[in-house]
Amino acid sequence: MRRYRYSAWNDSLGCCHPDPEDVLDGMADSIIEHGDLRKALRLLMQQGFTDRRGRFMPGLRDIRDRLFDMRQQALAEYDSKDMVRAWWRMEMDRLDRMLGGVFWGSDADTIDADLIKRIMGNEAWRQVCVIKELTEVLERYVDRNGTRLELTVRGIRRIAQRAMLDIFSSLQRSSFGGHAIRRNGVGGERLEDSRPYQFGDAFVINMGQTIMNAVQRTDGRTSIRLAPQDFEVYDAESTVRCTTVLLLDMSGSMARYGRFTAAKRVALALDALIRTQFPRDRLHVVGFCTYAQELQLADIPSLSPKPLGFFPHFYRRMYRNPLGFVNVQVDAAEAARGQTSVPAAFTNIQAGLQVAGRLFNQQRAGNQQIILITDGEPTAHIRGRNICLEYPPSPQTLTETLKEAKRCTRRGITINTFMLGENGPMKRFVSELTKINRGRAFFASPTSLGEYILVDYVANHGAKAA
């Protein structure tokens, strides 16, 4: 008869089976920053990750550091006549080459687990088991497309949810009113008739007031943790359906100072917020550079700003101008198709506003707003069938862009601008924009952009349609 021996639970025995959510959470920041799932996975293998219980799962860097110490000790004790010790050192050299290959991108299956166990013991063997299983445990969040790894819808939503929670968990009392914000114009009317939640009420949360209640209760001493007494809800008639278009600047300058990474994180977090807290609202994301187009949620993690590139005909025209100005026209249809001969790194806010207008036409809502994230004034505009690229921005570009803002204003669309740059021309342009539209303007750093936009959204969500 077969017999079994049971022992007390040893938490370390489970480390060969990492939780898929912990693995994806550990990759989330890298995916948003680099837009490359395979690179994010390689970085996770290199650096390790911390799970929700606070346990650190070492990566290849830690394992190689320990192996380096072992090799140094073996060299110090080296004896050419001791064949066993010499063989042992050769095995360590072989293992180091193996780990080094995986560290720089080789398949983790090339690691000889038995060799790890012989040289470094059971602990290192378990850690390598975790590293070798990372791709397999991500099956519910990642699809394989040949040699490529692609996030599933479930994976993208998990990253979006994580981005939203990270932004809100970082909020402390100093986050409210503690930034140097410049506000131009006035926003929508704020609804004040929310009240403390009572059992049986419809759970339509006034998120702004709820968070403020939690901040006041904790007095800013710790991270915000919501308690039942913090929740405030709107009356049923206060719920107003809102359609939001997030205009995301994809011009070349957004690659600086982490601006584009912050903007992508906000787009994902705002999608998660609306999907979970305001399901009657709708969010569209439009990316604009030389041209503009609607983006799907699946597109956002892999986005990157448009590089200027090298276009000989473009530079020839620029250098012929004694002042170094750019004044080039390109075919709008070719630009929209992504033709390689068209410089894509310019800032066409007018095109972004036009695409937003078409999206509003497709879906009517009581409230319509545009959230514009940009780091510079417009440097391109549409003229007939052409896109005019002009740098520094010409008066004509600014005029055409503001004309489009006036059309949005006549349709009752609010434009709230979040500036990631603070140069003089940018501030003058945004000042004119807010005078025309009577929206709000904020200056934000990449680190505070998420707090501004999400808190502003929930705090003003109850505004009534004009």
Q: Which residue has the higher pLDDT, 330 or 394?
A: 394
pTM for the model: 0.75
- pLDDT tens for 342-376 read 778 899 999 999 999 999 988 776 789 999 999 98
Three-state secondary-structure class, residue 340: coil
State residue 339's pLDDT score. Answer: 64
Q: Are 59 and 83 in contact (CB under 8 A)?
A: no
Single-letter residue type at 377: E
H helices of 104-248, where? 113-120, 122-137, 153-169, 207-218
Cα separation, 203 vs 234, in Å, equals 8
Cβ atoms of 353 and 406 within 8 Å: the answer is: no
Looking at this protein, which amino acid is placed at residue 115?
A: L
Residues 227 and 8: their CA atoms lie apart, in Å, by 37
**Residue 156 tokens, joined:** 């993208």
Do 441 and 419 contact (CB within 8 A), yes or no? yes
What pLDDT score was predicted for residue 325?
56
Predicted pLDDT at 324: 44
For 447, phi then psi, to 5°, come to -75, -25
Q: How much is the average pLDDT of 377-393?
A: 87
Predicted pLDDT of residue 254: 92
**What would the pLDDT profile of 32-89 be if each residue is shown by its tens digit?**
998 888 899 999 999 998 888 888 888 999 999 999 888 888 777 766 566 767 788 8
Which domains occur in the chain, in start order? 11-151 (no CATH), 162-193+235-459 (3.40.50.410)
CA distances (Å), origin 305, targets 172, 214, 251, 262, 443: 31, 37, 6, 12, 20
Closest by CA to 348, choosing from 391, 310, 319, 318, is 391
On the question of pLDDT at 423 being above 90, the answer is no
Whole-angstrom CA distances from 318 to 325, 391, 425 are 6, 10, 21
Q: What is the pLDDT of residues 83-124, one digit of tens each?
A: 767 788 888 888 989 998 888 888 888 888 888 888 888 888
180-204 residue pLDDT tens: 333 333 333 334 467 787 655 656 7
The CA radius of gyration of the chain, in Å to the nearest whole number, is 27
Task: Report the SS3 class of residue 291.
Answer: coil
